[in-house]
Chains A and B, each alone.
Chain A
Amino acid sequence: MEIAVQRPEAQRMGFFTDTTVCIGCKACEVACKQWNDLPADDLRASLSYDATRELSASTWRHVRFVETLRIPEPEPTLNFVEAALGAQLDRWVFMSDVCKHCTHAGCLDACPTGALIRTEFETVIVQSDVCNGCGYCVPSCPFGVIDRDPYDGRAAKCTLCYDRLEDGLEPACAKACPTDSIQFGPYEELVERAKGRVATLHERGLEGAYLYGAGDEPQDQLAGGLGAFFLLTEPPERYGLPAHADSPIQQNGPIANATGVAAAFVAAGLAFGAFAAAFRKAR
């Protein structure tokens, strides 16, 4: 069903992003831009310290700043975000967001040119020499990752450093991360370690820690399991992540196609009925 690169000895590789150790330094963002030769984004003024705001065609790693605010008694403060909002930063959580390299990838299912393919490491990449910029993958990603570049016209997103992987190197972001919040490795191994980490955190009393995208029962899986999964401590919506997701085409496509074609045949029946009535009268 999918267009995939085959290599028998290759195995699934992934990212495990542990938000509890992230310090929000954005080294991964910079490393990604450097390695992949991506242009800088415009600086946009906002009420957040997070100037990147979202993943886009030129931002393939985005350290999201989750700023939980508490509205306090008015009090003088030197912190300009707090002053502007009239609120205090209650908790500041960072999460380095990235393409999830879904098992059921909406973008991959949508692509009509075959530009999006699965690699031998079971990651999802865009072949930039094939993509014609139809833009259908953009609304088809349930995580809001892939985007079409407004100047270049093609879609682009994280490749899990496919070029580095082929040479046996770990992706640039994971290499740069000073706290190992981004860990890279064989998928099964990563999931095991991540589960152990959650158990450790639970033991220490951080009951809210959970894995987003790995270690679920089949019926609870996100898009069939995420190749890049996360350890989170807040409900997913705080990080702009959906609580449930699957490839929209696999979810909705068959039903929508079926009712559409059925309706077309009903319309044909009505047309014949209308003609029969009119011609009977004429005769």
Chain B
Amino acid sequence: MSGKRKGPPPEDVTRRAEEGRTAEGRDVTPAVGRRGQAGGWVRTGEKVALAKERWGDARWSFLYDKDTRYASASANGSVAEAARRARGGGEVPVAVQGPMIHATLWTWEVPVYFFVGGLAAGSSLVSVACDQFGDHEGAELARKLALGAVLPAPLLLIADLGRPARFLNMLRIFKVRSPMSMGAWCLVAFSTTATGAVAADVLGFKRAGRAAGVATALLGSYLGSYTGALLAATATPLWARSRVLLAPIFVCTAAASGAGANRLLQRSGPTREALGHLELLAMGGKLILSPINDRHIGSLAEPLEHHRAYKLSNWAARIGVALRLLRRGGDVPSVLFLASALLTRIAWIEAGKQSAGDDEAVARMARR
């Protein structure tokens, strides 16, 4: 049961094939149902023959009443105690009979969205730093890059929806509790200020461009980090147990990819050097935090550690860091860091699906 399926659902095929069939003059087209919603019954306003007020029908058809021995003993403290006995303890006492939970249905659009969103957020940070140190040209470039990176983001998000035409329903409410809602709003706000900043730059309103750049970077602090929180706030064991470090790991890769992309475009000068430092620090951060997290969550990290994209992302990061420390490779480390950032997102999502499908792992996590 994953993803989206194209074409008419199987029951519609059946219905169409057997439409209009009759037996002894009666219509015997099978009623095979409708997907996605409860039956659309229309109220007639009339009561059915056996209707009773306020669930009287439930009481009327009830087998067990006070005159049965179904629940004759009076409850004492033993009820809560019995539940504590069955649900307590750190070990899963029996073989787990799954399935326990559902894995996410997200496909490739979501990790790619995480990547471009992170890149845009990192770029917005770079623009503020450039402005601060007087490299206004570099800052304008970074702002353009942030806008360019964030432009495909809404398209990716819409493509991932089950009902893309209803995308705007995301902006129906503002829900602080849901990272998905906050993320959608943040994406809208970020795109707006990023567009405003570039427009101001182009039109020559330098101060306005810089101010909008600062606002973009502030929004970027959430855009680059919420994706980790989005995953951590689910029941998937791998993500939920990584709740402390997952978002920081995503921030590291976001900063590294933002700095890397800018460095590829900045051909010379101290800004290029500074971006080199930044991407090195950020990737170094990821290379330190990831193993700490893997150790912390123990065997739950297995699907991640065994995932090919994860291994590749780590090697890309390690080789990039090594090259940079040896002062070799020119642009190669930046490209490697960009690849590593994308692969990290893919690996986390795909490994999460495996983790949710691992009934033993889910059961173990729930035993605390």
With a cutoff of 8 Å between Cβ atoms, the chain A residues found around residue B234 in the complex are 106, 110, 136, 139-140, 248
Q: Assess A138 versus B104: contact at CB under 8 Å? Given A256-B247, A257-B229.
A: yes
Complex-state Cα separation, A274 to B160, whole angstroms: 37
With a cutoff of 8 Å between Cβ atoms, the chain A residues found around residue B211 in the complex are none
- The answer to whether A128 and B38 touch across the interface, beta carbons within 8 angstroms, is yes
Q: Which residue of A lies closest to B367 (CB)?
A: A243
B43, B73, B285 — most chain A CB neighbours (10 Å): B73
Q: Which B346-368 residues have a C-beta within 8 angstroms of A?
A: 352, 356, 359, 362-363, 365-368
Query: Does B333 lie at the interface of the complex (its beta carbon under 8 Å from any beta carbon of A)?
Result: no
A197, A203, A271 — most chain B CB neighbours (10 Å): A271
- The answer to whether A38 and B367 touch across the interface, beta carbons within 8 angstroms, is no
Query: Does A188 lie at the interface of the complex (its beta carbon under 8 Å from any beta carbon of B)?
Result: no
Complex-state Cα separation, A279 to B277, whole angstroms: 12
B-facing mask of A141-168, CB < 8 A → 1, else 0? 1111111111111111001001101011
Query: Does B80 lie at the interface of the complex (its beta carbon under 8 Å from any beta carbon of A)?
Result: yes
Contact of A260 among B75, B250, B271 (CB under 8 A): B250
Total interface residues on A, using CB and 8 Å? 135
Q: Which B26-66 residues have a C-beta within 8 angstroms of A?
A: 31-41, 43, 51-59, 61-64
Contact of B244 among A128, A130, A144, A259 (CB under 8 A): A259
Complex-state Cα separation, A3 to B248, whole angstroms: 31
Query: Does B197 lie at the interface of the complex (its beta carbon under 8 Å from any beta carbon of A)?
Result: no
- The answer to whether A153 and B162 touch across the interface, beta carbons within 8 angstroms, is yes
Closest Cβ of chain B to A140, distance in Å, is 5
- The answer to whether B76 and A148 touch across the interface, beta carbons within 8 angstroms, is no
Query: Does B21 lie at the interface of the complex (its beta carbon under 8 Å from any beta carbon of A)?
Result: no
With a cutoff of 8 Å between Cβ atoms, the chain B residues found around residue A248 in the complex are 233-235, 240
- The answer to whether A113 and B173 touch across the interface, beta carbons within 8 angstroms, is yes
Complex-state Cα separation, A132 to B132, whole angstroms: 42
Complex-state Cα separation, A235 to B85, whole angstroms: 9
Q: Assess A199 versus B75: contact at CB under 8 Å? Given A170-B57, A271-B278.
A: yes
Total interface residues on B, using CB and 8 Å? 143
Complex-state Cα separation, A240 to B178, whole angstroms: 27
Complex-state Cα separation, A141 to B99, whole angstroms: 13
- The answer to whether A144 and B247 touch across the interface, beta carbons within 8 angstroms, is no
Q: Which residue of B lies closest to A58 (CB)?
A: B35
Query: Does B290 lie at the interface of the complex (its beta carbon under 8 Å from any beta carbon of A)?
Result: no
Query: Does B180 lie at the interface of the complex (its beta carbon under 8 Å from any beta carbon of A)?
Result: yes
Query: Does A263 lie at the interface of the complex (its beta carbon under 8 Å from any beta carbon of B)?
Result: yes
Query: Does B270 lie at the interface of the complex (its beta carbon under 8 Å from any beta carbon of A)?
Result: yes
Q: Assess A37 versus B63: contact at CB under 8 Å? Given A175-B57, A271-B255.
A: no
Complex-state Cα separation, A266 to B252, whole angstroms: 10
A-facing mask of B239-261, CB < 8 A → 1, else 0? 01001111110111011000100
With a cutoff of 8 Å between Cβ atoms, the chain A residues found around residue B356 in the complex are 139
Contact of B243 among A207, A237, A255 (CB under 8 A): A255
- The answer to whether B100 and A242 touch across the interface, beta carbons within 8 angstroms, is yes
With a cutoff of 8 Å between Cβ atoms, the chain B residues found around residue A272 in the complex are 129, 132
Complex-state Cα separation, A165 to B58, whole angstroms: 11
Q: Which residue of B lies closest to A207 (CB)?
A: B82
Query: Does B72 lie at the interface of the complex (its beta carbon under 8 Å from any beta carbon of A)?
Result: yes
Contact of B178 among A111, A152, A274, A277 (CB under 8 A): A111
A-facing mask of B60-101, CB < 8 A → 1, else 0? 011110000111111110111011111110001111111111
Closest Cβ of chain B to A248, distance in Å, is 5
Closest Cβ of chain A to B283, distance in Å, is 12
Contact of B99 among A54, A126, A163 (CB under 8 A): A54
Query: Does B111 lie at the interface of the complex (its beta carbon under 8 Å from any beta carbon of A)?
Result: no
Query: Does A180 lie at the interface of the complex (its beta carbon under 8 Å from any beta carbon of B)?
Result: yes
- The answer to whether A253 and B177 touch across the interface, beta carbons within 8 angstroms, is yes
Complex-state Cα separation, A58 to B78, whole angstroms: 38
With a cutoff of 8 Å between Cβ atoms, the chain B residues found around residue A67 in the complex are 97
With a cutoff of 8 Å between Cβ atoms, the chain A residues found around residue B232 in the complex are 252-253, 255-256
Given pairs A39-B9, A262-B248, 13 additional interface contacts (CB within 8 A)? A37-B38, A37-B40, A110-B234, A112-B184, A140-B233, A153-B4, A153-B161, A184-B58, A196-B73, A252-B233, A263-B247, A270-B255, A277-B277
10 pairs from A and B in contact (CB 8 Å cutoff): A113-B166, A135-B105, A163-B39, A168-B56, A175-B58, A242-B365, A261-B222, A264-B225, A268-B125, A275-B274
Closest 5 CB pairs of A and B: A133-B162, A260-B247, A153-B162, A260-B225, A242-B366
- A interface list, Cβ under 8 A from B: 1, 3, 13, 33, 35-40, 42, 53-54, 56-58, 64, 66-67, 106, 109-115, 126, 128, 130-136, 138-156, 159, 162-163, 165, 167-170, 174-175, 179-180, 183-185, 192-200, 202-203, 207-212, 215-217, 220, 232, 234-245, 248-253, 255-257, 259-268, 270-279, 281-282
